[in-house]
Structure 1
Amino acid sequence: MTTPRASLLSLDTTPWYHLVNRCVRRAFLCGTDAVSGQCYEHRRGWIAERLHQLAGIFAIDVAAYAVMSNHYHLVVRVDAARAANWSNDEVLRRWTALFTGPLLVQRYRAGLEMLPAERAAVSALAGTYRERLADVSWFMRVLNEAIARQANAEDGVKGRFWEGRFKSQALLDEAAILSAMAYVDLNPIRAGMAETPEASAFTSVAERLAELPGHAEKARASDTDDEPLEAAPPASQAPAWCEVLPVQALMPFDATGRVPYAIPFGFEDYLELVETTGRCQRPDKRGRIEGRVPRLLDRLGIDPDAFITASTTLLQRFGSAVGTPASLTACCASRQARHLRGIRVAREIFERTAA
């Protein structure tokens, strides 16, 4: 029996999710079509830009992303408490940055005189919008609709651009968050699109590295192609919303755990893990982490060899939730399900065998 979306995206279970959306009939989201010669590379920038904009409007933070040729991956965290603390005016300000809203909302925002019943109706609408601004489904809807409209307009066609509704995996604990983020950031390396994290254009790890002193120059020096990693689209192809909404940065890292809205790792430790795993995924390297185990794997008790396997097959080997065996068992009980796919894999990855 199909699991209801409300159970798959339940904030009572976890605020962290791995999301995936794919183009219909493997249509080009970006890249170059070898048959027609048409280049769609600029569309990757559309998604990266839109993600940052929506993160500045929704109570949803982006921890990791990777834009591939015909699909994209996200790791997000929903901050419902933040949305609950917004005033009605703040909620309406954010919502009307995306939609004009009904006439009542427009009049209220314009400061016009209103009856008590009209103000009550506006307050009710603000409550609805507050829930939507902390809703993953609405976040993905707004993201996908904007990209689909722009791509269809550019191609001169109508109809579906996305294969269907997005796929989601609940990330139940720190081990699951780490595995999903590494899986997402290493997508271009696994697909042969890049050899190093800093050369993985339109990924969160490349974006974070580009902000560090000296890394941008290093990435440009190591790039053997004549074309830049991120070519700006022509003005005629740029979506109108690119010049309207502000841009929000990616989630910060905080190994101390004092910042509740931060990724619960140190960036240096995470980068060490991604770079080490990325080298293991190259076809000319063995799939094994030699020598000292990266600190994050050691801290979370994750088997290094099993982690490499998970970093290439996380989406396939786990079902709608990722986590340690104990977390999966608790999630299964909360959903009143008999079992969850991935419990055997969770034992292999997240329960390190004693030496």
Structure 2
Amino acid sequence: DEKALMACMAYVDLNPIRARMAKTPETSHHTSIQVRIKKAETTTTPNHPNQQVKPLYPFAGNPRKNMPEGLPFRITDYLELVDWTGRIIREDKKGHIAKDIPPILQRLTIDPQHWHYLTTQFESPFKNLVGAVHEMRQACERLGQQWAQGIKECERLFSS
């Protein structure tokens, strides 16, 4: 069941924080969440199955018909859930994510409004390339293209 699976994953990924071996999931060495975060930071589409860490079971997104193999939720939802859970202070545990540490999407420089737009309107402004403008230009050069549709939108959405 999805809830039990997510609870088990979060429990394991938060162990270093509860033990005060790390302050955030990004600094939790030897955890799958740290590996997933490092990969997510290198892409503009972390929820896409091709942008996830290969040895780990992928996040397949929200349950739907013709569901691909993978965890039945999005990686960004899981990151937020772990971040929120890690902030809960328990008297019987040593550590937690401090209240003064910004939310995980902010730490990963993901603008929530831009993120919402990207995850609900992704196909509208982009036809073949999407990402940081300098990377789009490099891709155009490699592909022998003069321009890419959506480059202005990428400049607005991915500049940080």
TM-score, normalised to structure 2, is 0.45
Higher strand proportion = 1
- Higher-Rg structure is 1
TM-score, normalised to structure 1, is 0.21
- Give the number of the structure with larger relative contact order, counting CA–CA contacts within 8 Å between residues 6 or more apart: 1
